[in-house]
Amino acid sequence: MLKIRNYIKVKSIAEAYELNQKKTACILGGMVWLKMGNRNISTAIDLSGLGLDTIQETEEEFIIGCMTSLRTLETNQALHEFSHGAVKESLRHIVGVQFRNCATVGGSIYGRYGFSDVLTMLLALDTWAEFYEGGKIPLSEFVNMKKNRDVLVNIRIRKTPVFCSYRSQRNSETDFPVLACAASLLGEETRTVIGARPGRAMIVGDPLGILKNFREMTNKQRAAAIASYAEYAADHVPTGSNMRASAEYRTMLVKVLVRRTWEAVGGMKNEY
Amino acid sequence: MNINFWLNGVCINCEAEPDMILLDLLREKGCYSVKRGCETSNCGLCTVLMDGTPVLSCSILAVRAEGHKITTLEGMQKEAEEFGSFLADEGADQCGFCNPGFLMNVFAMLQELKDPSEEDILEYLAGNLCRCTGFAGQTRSILKFLQYKKEQKEADNA
């Protein structure tokens, strides 16, 4: 069972940072994951009084406060349009509306959970994590950083022009994903992210340049490039087994979901 | 810790340990409609409204209710009776254990979605598990209830 000795609703991020330097302290997100563990927390730090639960939109970026609920992220119309529906697709299968009203963006990102749809999706966009002490760090860097005692304040999604698509495979509608995949044409970059491998989400990379000039390709060239890249991804993405699926099955899914997301990004098929 | 919050329209002042879960506090206060059906934040049986928004009371610290308005099924008896008759007419409930959480989320949905389609309804209620049925009766009852509400409104306007 989760045990908490002290609970403090902080008045500032500085106060949260200070309290969080103790190893047994813990910053609370939505608690939907935390409450299932057996941790002994000396001080539970609550950021919910700091107005960090909203999304601000500027000319350059979306600034998402760390305490923003997944449901708020899902129902934000501007972000929905910016991401061509991909952000909503990545969130709507996560348990239920009540759960998504509790779970926070900050909690999902800071934890860098292997099962995270949110992390998989946001890695496919020009996303930055903003810390009290460490400042702004690209999410693609943060995902592989060691845990530290810093405080995640905002998630910033820069408005780099993007075409993207998100798909996940689940054993049942509201379960964790067995595999998650996001594909994006981010400015001139092509980016493919695989999550729920079941390890932490990773950017796949394209060292052979298979998807290079994807934008300029004809549909026939795109289909060939996608087929070849799907093979590449299946060969290079490490997968593992757990109670939900075997590594072999996940590797098959990598191939299928990479193909489907890229076909959607290319505007070739929309029915998935 | 001392906390103050509104429970079904009544101001409550009470003591709660820092790690007390809201669900347990609500049951302590006599709201037995709020149930723990799983230990994995998955079943939706513990759904209550926090300032009108449906949340899982199994995942919220009691101290986080400070200053908020919590509504359980005990505070929505009139609405429950009205919608409950539609559920009964469709033979939707069997053991009835999941009903309170389901009803609370239906009420939240009716507030949040305007004219939801069947697909919208299924998506909104996906986080409410019923282990007896296949949700067909529940879905029918909601669609009929929405139609009834629409007709009622039209009659009022006419």
Tokens of A74: 């899902």
Over the range A137-158, which residues count as b (16 or more CB within 10 Å of their CB) and which as e?
bebbebbeeeeeebbbbbbbbe
A97/B108 CB distance under 8 A? yes
- pLDDT exceeds cutoff 80 at A160: yes
Q: Which residues pair with B5 in a beta bridge?
A: B12
Nearest-CB residue to B56 (from A28, A44, A102): A102
Dist CA A166 CA B8 (whole Å): 40
Interface test mutation site (partner A, options B20, B39, B46, B55, max chain A beta carbons within 10 A): B55
Q: Which residue of A has its CA nearest to B67?
A: A49
Q: Say what the ipTM of the complex is.
A: 0.96
Parallel, antiparallel, or unpaired: how do β-strands B47-50 and B53-56 relate?
antiparallel
**With a CB-CB cutoff of 8 Å, which residues 10-29 of chain A face chain B?**
28
At residue A267 the predicted structure's pLDDT band, cuts being 50, 70 and 90, is confident
Dist CA A248 CA A240 (whole Å): 8
Tokens of A148: 């530290």
Average pLDDT over residues A236-256: 98
Nearest-CB residue to B18 (from A6, A33, A95): A6
Question: Taking Cα atoms as reference points, which of B107, B96, B8, B101 lies closest to residue B46?
Answer: B101
Q: Is B12 helix (H, G, I), strand (E, B) or coil?
A: strand
Nearest-CB residue to B55 (from A41, A48, A102): A102
Nearest-CB residue to A97 (from B21, B54, B61): B54
Average of per-residue pLDDT values in chain B: 96
Domains of chain B by residue range: 2-72, 75-157
In tens, the pLDDT along A169-193 reads 999 999 999 999 999 999 889 999 9
Which pLDDT belongs to residue A270? 61
Residues of A whose CB is below 8 A from B58? 35
- pLDDT exceeds cutoff 90 at A271: no
- pLDDT exceeds cutoff 60 at B157: yes
At residue B93 the predicted structure's pLDDT band, cuts being 50, 70 and 90, is confident
Instruction: Tell whether domain B2-72 is in CATH 1.50.10.10.
Output: no
* Chain B CB within 8 Å of residue A2 CB: yes
Which pLDDT belongs to residue A11? 98
* Chain B CB within 8 Å of residue A107 CB: no
Interior CA angle at A74 toward A73 and A77, to 5°?
Answer: 85
Interface test mutation site (partner B, options A4, A92, A98, max chain B beta carbons within 10 A): A98
Q: Is B144 helix (H, G, I), strand (E, B) or coil?
A: helix
Dist CA A59 CA A132 (whole Å): 23
Dist CA A31 CA A4 (whole Å): 12
Residues B50 and A53: beta-carbon distance below 8 Å: no
Interface test mutation site (partner A, options B15, B41, B66, max chain A beta carbons within 10 A): B41
Summary count for chain A: helices (H), strands (E): 10, 12
Residues of A whose CB is below 8 A from B126? 93, 95-97, 173-174
Residues of B whose CB is below 8 A from A70? none
Residues of B whose CB is below 8 A from A99? 41-42, 56, 59, 127
A96/B55 CB distance under 8 A? no
* Chain B CB within 8 Å of residue A98 CB: yes
Domain annotation for chain A: domains and CATH numbers: 3-45 (no CATH), 55-158 (3.30.465.10), 162-265 (3.30.390.50)
Q: Which residue of B has its CA nearest to A172?
A: B126
* Chain B CB within 8 Å of residue A35 CB: yes
B41/A32 CB distance under 8 A? yes
- The CB-based long-range contact list for A129-134 (8 Å cut-off, 24+ gap) reads A129/A154, A129/A155, A129/A156, A130/A154, A130/A155, A130/A156, A132/A13, A132/A14, A132/A16, A132/A17, A133/A17
B21/A35 CB distance under 8 A? yes
Could you tell me which residues come within 8 angstroms of residue B131 by beta carbon, excluding any fewer than 6 positions away? B98
Percent of chain A with pLDDT over 70: 99
Q: Which CATH superfamily is domain B75-157 in?
A: [2Fe-2S]-binding domain (1.10.150.120)
HSE (side-chain half, CA atoms, 13 Å) at A236: 17
Return the number of CB contacts < 8 Å for A and B: 78
Residues of B whose CB is below 8 A from A4? 18-19, 61
In tens, the pLDDT along A18-58 reads 999 999 999 999 999 999 999 999 999 999 999 999 999 99
- Phi, psi values for residue A27, rounded to 5°: -85, 130
B59/A35 CB distance under 8 A? yes
**E-assigned strand segments in A12-54:** 26-28, 40-46
At residue B39 the predicted structure's pLDDT band, cuts being 50, 70 and 90, is confident
